[in-house]
Amino acid sequence: PDGSLLAAVRADGSVWIRILETKEKYRLFSKPNTEISALAFGPGNSRVGTPLIAIGTREKGSCPGSCSISFTRILKAAKAGGEVHSIPQGGTLMKAIAFSPDGRWLASAANDRTVMIVDLRRMSEEAPEAPFELALPDFVSALAFSDDSRLLAAGSVDGSTRLVAVVDGRVVALIDNGSGVRGTSIQPGSTVKDLKFSPNGRFLGIAGEFAPAQLIPLAVGLGEEIFLSHDYAVRAVAFSADSRFFA
């Protein structure tokens, strides 16, 4: 979160950390027969005193026979940090993971049309509250929290994006994919590739495959969106720190 560490996932099921200032690197996680499909750094205000990293894994041999089980594993980023929590998520591939900026929530999307929202403050309790699962009509391809941690944006492969109130899981807004058609993935505007909230909380940026980038006003309700045309698919979007520029 402070720019001092770089995390990399390898095909052998390991996660490596590089300290950018000293160029030292170390292995944070490794497990045979494991596919790691998503990774996210937590905020700097970690309650365990070190930055956290969440990874989405699909692990063979974690159940009888040849089946696989997926997990969201939360790790301390420190050199000998170890695992903080492990949350099973069935047998489907993990597609996206995001921490809320306040460090309270962790959202993860598996390839089964569900988003799991975990209250990390309660995970250390003797009887922690079960994660909240939000069922959506299509596969989720991108996740992002608003700067105040109150909203979660979930982008789908049909090109639509839903804004979810984190505290109770309500879908408070549905943003169209720009084509005027919802519910199908075979069309221009399909698959949301990236989502970013502006630091001032006024806009949501959306990157879509085969579609222009979208800039959605949020400050006074959903207003008229702005489309930034491109000749090719948009893979990522970003805001400047002062929210004046959108790329």
Give residue-wise pLDDT tens across range 7-33: 999 999 999 999 999 999 999 999 988
- In sequence order, what are the residues at sequence separation of 6 or more whose Cβ sits closer than 8 angstroms to the Cβ of residue 232? none
Q: Which pLDDT score is estimated for 119? A: 87
Q: pLDDT digit string (tens) for 70-126?
A: 889 999 988 877 888 888 877 677 889 999 999 889 999 888 888 888 888 876 655
Token code pair at residue 161 = 């994006």
State the Cα–Cα distance between residues 225 and 213, nearest whole angstrom: 10
Token code pair at residue 126 = 């003797």
- Most confident by average pLDDT, 80-89, 103-112, 131-140, 221-230: 103-112
First to last CA, the chain: 21
Token code pair at residue 199 = 């630091």
**pLDDT of 236 strictly over 70:** yes
CB 234 within 8 A of CB 213: yes
